[in-house]
């Protein structure tokens, strides 16, 4: 790094922002196969949090690739860079006192671990959306699995590219068998238990 670049310490701190927001800041990192319900869960949870007056933002995989990561493809290196950028962005939002929700397949354990290292203590919550590939294929409204099996989409997670199942996620949700409302209740309960939301 250039020696002329010096970190500026602001007078408005994360702690002051959290006090103003009346909730702790955190990143909820939703991971799982395509079709496992990451985006659905993240947006539904954000709606509930917004109604409670929380400051939130959802980083959705497809949306981010329209702007911040529009220059990246889906090779292993590009996927790693995609996740690195999102991790750094989520870190800024946590510093801003917000609850950041990220919905990315983020298939590689090493990449998720590298993002986790950016955060202190309990600031990073990995949420594993557990859903079988068979069920994900049934939900395939975009037709991606069908195209991947036909060889039209290279490096597709679960078909031609691996997915490293989280070993010890902070939260594991059975999105295959639980209803959406049940999943949201599980998440809200976890946030209260962890002291992120008030009782």
Question: What would the 3-class secondary structure string for the chain be?
Answer: CCCCCCCCCCCCCHHHHHHHHCCCCEEEEEECCCCCCHHHHHHHHHHHHHHCCCCEEEEEHHHHCCCCCCCCCCCHHHHHHHHHHHHHHHHHHHHCCCEEEEECCCCCHHHHHHHHCCCCHHHEEEEEEECCHHHHHHCCCCCHHHHHHCCCCCCCECCCECCCCCCCCCEEEECCCCCHHHHHHHHHHHHHHCCCCCC
Q: Is-catalytic flag, 161?
A: no
**Do you know the residue count of the chain?**
199
- Residue 12, beta-bridge partner list: none
Residue with tokens 């594993």: 128
Nearest partner of 27 among 194, 198, 199, judged by Cα: 194
Rounded to whole angstroms, the Cα distance separating 125 from 167 reads 13
Catalytic residue among 36, 39, 106, 161: 106
**Which residues are identified as catalytic?**
106
């Amino acid at each position: 790094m250039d020696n002329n670049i010096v970190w500026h310490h602001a007078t408005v701190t994360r702690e002051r922002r959290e006090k103003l927001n009346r909730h702790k800041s955190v990143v909820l990192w939703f991971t799982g196969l395509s079709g496992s319900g990451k985006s659905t869960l993240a947006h539904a949870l954000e709606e509930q949090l917004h109604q409670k007056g929380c400051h939130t933002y959802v980083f959705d995989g497809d949306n981010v690739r329209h702007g911040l990561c529009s220059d990246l493809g889906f090779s292993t290196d590009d996927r790693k860079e995609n996740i690195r950028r999102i991790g750094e962005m989520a870190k800024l939002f946590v510093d801003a006192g917000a609850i950041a929700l990220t919905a990315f397949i983020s298939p590689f354990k090493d990449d998720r671990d590298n993002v986790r290292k950016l955060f202190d203590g309990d600031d990073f919550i990995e949420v594993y959306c557990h859903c079988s590939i068979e069920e994900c294929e049934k939900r395939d409204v975009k037709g991606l699995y069908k195209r991947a099996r036909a060889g039209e989409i290279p490096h597709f997670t679960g078909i031609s590219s691996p997915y490293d199942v989280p070993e010890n996620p902070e939260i594991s949700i059975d999105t295959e068998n639980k209803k959406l409302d049940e999943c949201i209740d599980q998440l809200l309960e976890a946030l209260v238990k962890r002291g992120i939301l008030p009782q």
